[in-house]
């Protein structure tokens, strides 16, 4: 509200003469009193900017065109100027600041004698205006001891402390671990808060939410010979002529070839006699492998096998080495978008548990969620898929296997795009050849 001028009539205790009045008033010789001057009627263009002029005791007011006010001038009857329908005041919405309706009464000398009546949540000040009551600072609220009072225009609200939420009139702990994925690995809820934990082989990043790999090889040097760091773990490897002890870390036994060679040896742990593994797939003579031209030779500990160079079956086609992709969305409905063929060999009777194969997403999208599972080939429970990050998993051998034998394990990665509402599946078909010897 813009006020151009405002004055309140005050009768002088000792007037100079009966015909002298204060500013904004003029003498009425008939009634012999000072009466208010209507500046809105006699002052040309008293208000600017489209404001309307409202006469006031000893002055006038400039108000918006939609303003609503009740005024009385001397013995004139009450008049209501330009009534505009207004919605009730919303005490919880301070963005709807509606001025409360008020009424005034005046005596014959034009001085306000009655008191305004303000709406609930407002109080009258010395200038006869209604102002908001701060119930929070004046302890007029009914908030509980565990709640915070926030003042609003005409009222107040009671809110819970951070980490808590309202349940009826009470504040209860908000379980952040159930509401959203705050943590990369594990979320631990506490009273009013939470914290994140990482799996073994990981540590919290500086943001206290993400988990980063711990390089055990650099920090603790756990291996006697060679250490290779993995995501969430590590592996030890022996120098030539050594093999891992049962604890998979120390290396107490040395096997030496009687001919002085360590390369490509298979050692008998009882007789301490070393046999050289024949690399059939690398032999070019007639005694080498018998694989056809459309096959590839795969050497394993103690033998070799032949596999097709193009393993793709309808409706898949070969798009790169060992990768089969589906080119028709209709023909591949319900099938994996791609199948990748991989081969590996392990010793017979290998100590368990042992990490043997790692699968990881190659294309990472910020809005995607990845799920890993063993889809087929684990009927005997020989394997376990351990997730080490949000984009990768490790295949763990849980039962000792005796060779020779061949196992085919299908590892599936499901990609769920939360933003695009899109789901896709990729399959890795792993052929594991268990050699005939435990060395």
What does the pLDDT look like over 340-374, one tens digit per residue?
A: 999 998 988 888 888 999 988 877 777 788 899 99
Q: What confidence tier does 427 reach under pLDDT thresholds 50, 70, 90?
A: very high
> Could you report the per-residue pLDDT of 148-193, keeping only the tens digit for each?
999 999 899 999 998 898 888 889 998 888 876 678 888 888 888 8
Q: Which residue has the tokens 């006469």?
A: 55
Reported confidence tier of residue 289, pLDDT bands at 50, 70, 90: low
Q: 100: closest CA among 82, 119, 115, 84?
A: 119
> Which CATH homologous superfamily contains domain 175-214?
Laminin (2.10.25.10)
Q: Give tens-digit pLDDT for 184-215.
A: 888 888 888 899 999 888 999 999 888 998 98
Regarding pTM above 0.85, the answer is no
Q: How confident is the model at residue 108 (pLDDT cuts 50, 70, 90)?
A: very low
The mean pLDDT value of the chain amounts to 75
pLDDT band at 137 (very low <50, low <70, confident <90, very high): very high
Burial 168-183 (b: 16+ CB within 10 A, else e): eeebebbebbeeeeeb
Please say whether the beta carbons of 209 and 222 come within 8 A.
no
Mean pLDDT, residues 113-136 taken together: 83
Structure-model confidence comparison of residues 1 and 408, the more confident one: 408
Q: Render pLDDT for 51-70 as a digit per residue (tens, 0 to 9).
A: 888 888 778 888 887 776 65
Alpha carbon separation from 203 to 181, 188, 194 (Å, rounded): 18, 15, 17
Residue intervals in the chain for CATH 2.10.25.10 = 175-214
What is the mean predicted confidence (pLDDT) over 10-30?
A: 62
Q: How confident is the model at residue 127 (pLDDT cuts 50, 70, 90)?
A: confident
Which residues belong to CATH 2.60.40.60 in the chain? 310-439
Task: Tell which CATH classification among 1.20.1630, 2.10.25, 2.115.10, 1.10.3470 matches the domain 218-276.
Answer: 2.10.25
CATH superfamily of 310-439: Cadherins (2.60.40.60)
Q: Which helix (H) or strand (E) holds 39?
A: helix 39-42
């Amino acid at each position: 509200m813009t006020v151009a001028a405002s004055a309140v009539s005050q009768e002088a205790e000792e007037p100079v003469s009966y015909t002298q009045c204060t500013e904004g008033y003029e003498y009425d010789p008939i009634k012999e009193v000072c009466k208010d001057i209507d500046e809105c009627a006699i002052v040309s263009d008293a208000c600017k900017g489209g404001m309307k002029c409202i006469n006031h005791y000893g002055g006038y007011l400039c108000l918006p065109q939609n303003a609503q006010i009740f005024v009385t001038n001397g013995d004139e009857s009450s008049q209501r100027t330009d009534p505009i329908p207004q919605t009730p005041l919303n005490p919880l919405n301070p963005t709807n600041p509606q001025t409360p309706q008020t009424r005034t009464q005046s005596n014959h000398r034009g001085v306000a004698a009655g008191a305004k009546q303000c709406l609930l949540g407002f109080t009258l000040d010395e200038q006869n205006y209604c102002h908001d009551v701060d119930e929070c600072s004046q302890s007029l609220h009914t908030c509980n001891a565990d709640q915070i009072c926030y003042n609003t225009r005409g009222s107040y609200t009671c809110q819970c402390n951070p980490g808590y939420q309202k349940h009826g009139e009470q504040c209860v702990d908000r379980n952040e671990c159930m509401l959203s994925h705050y943590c990369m690995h594990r979320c631990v809820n506490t009273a009013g808060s939470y914290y994140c934990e990482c799996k073994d082989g990981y540590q919290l990043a500086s943001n206290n939410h993400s988990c980063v790999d711990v390089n055990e090889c650099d920090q603790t040097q756990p291996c006697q010979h060679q250490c290779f760091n993995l995501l969430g773990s590590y592996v030890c490897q022996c120098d030539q002529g050594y093999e891992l002890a049962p604890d998979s870390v120390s290396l107490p036994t040395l096997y030496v070839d009687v001919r002085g060679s360590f390369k490509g040896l298979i050692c008998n742990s009882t007789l301490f006699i070393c046999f050289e593994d024949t690399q059939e797939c690398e032999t070019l003579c007639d005694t080498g492998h018998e694989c056809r031209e459309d096959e590839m030779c795969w050497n394993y500990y103690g033998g070799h096998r032949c596999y097709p160079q193009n393993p793709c079956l309808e409706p898949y086609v070969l798009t790169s080495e060992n990768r089969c992709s589906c080119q028709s969305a209709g023909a591949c409905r319900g099938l994996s978008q791609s199948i990748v063929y991989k081969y590996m060999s392990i010793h017979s009777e290998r100590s368990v548990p042992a990490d043997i194969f790692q699968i990881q997403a190659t294309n990472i999208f910020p809005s995607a969620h990845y799920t890993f599972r063993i889809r087929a080939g684990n009927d005997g429970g020989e394997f376990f898929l351990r997730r080490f990050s949000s984009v990768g998993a490790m295949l763990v051998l849980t039962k000792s296997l005796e060779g020779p034998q061949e196992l085919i394990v299908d590892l599936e990665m499901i990609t769920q795009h939360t933003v695009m509402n899109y789901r896709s599946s990729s399959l890795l078909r792993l052929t594991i050849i268990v050699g005939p010897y435990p060395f």
